[in-house]
């Protein structure tokens, strides 16, 4: 049980960060993320369900959360980084034009600050969950 602390922490941080997408958030008058409950609400509820499974359902819960995080990372990679590499950029640049950017570009689409942090948190949550799962499976 001791090793479960890391995935609980990383998934809790991810859940809190993703919650900002449900309510929208600004920093110093600049848009961090727009309120996207209508677009992402079902996905948010599915993540909560997968996390609850992880907390209470043992091995099956670990598998559910791992698969969910893996698929989510794949979707985020496709919907954000694929367009960074291959384009088309214009629609994405326009859609995210008001958000806070770490790297501003009018030529290619580069994910905004919110999405970069989201992707890092998904990856950390996935790694810590896989690590815990492999440790738990090896101790049985």
Which pLDDT value is given to residue 1? 54
Domain residue ranges in the chain: 2-135
Whether the per-residue pLDDT at 137 is higher than 70: the answer is no
Phi, psi of 112 (to 5 degrees): -80, 175
Token pair in block for residue 28: 């110093």
pTM: 0.91
Span 30-53, pLDDT tens digits: 999 999 999 999 999 999 999 999
pLDDT mean across residues, the chain: 92
Helices 5-23 and 113-139: angle between axes, nearest 10 degrees = 150
Span 61-90, pLDDT tens digits: 999 999 999 999 999 999 888 878 887 778
Token pair in block for residue 26: 């600004």
């Amino acid at each position: 049980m001791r090793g479960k602390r890391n995935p609980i922490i990383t998934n809790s941080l991810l859940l809190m960060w993703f919650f900002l997408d449900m309510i929208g958030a600004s920093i110093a008058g600049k848009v961090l993320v727009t309120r996207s409950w209508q677009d992402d609400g079902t996905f948010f509820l599915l993540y909560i369900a997968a996390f609850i499974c992880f907390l209470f359902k043992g091995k099956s819960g670990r598998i559910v959360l791992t698969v969910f995080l893996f698929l989510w990372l794949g979707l985020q990679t496709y919907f954000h980084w694929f367009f960074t590499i291959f384009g088309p950029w214009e629609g994405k640049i326009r859609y995210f034009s008001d958000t806070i950017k770490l790297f501003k570009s009018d030529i290619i689409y580069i994910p905004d600050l919110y999405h970069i942090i989201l992707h890092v948190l998904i990856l950390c949550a996935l790694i810590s969950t896989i690590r815990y799962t492999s440790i738990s499976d090896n101790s049985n």
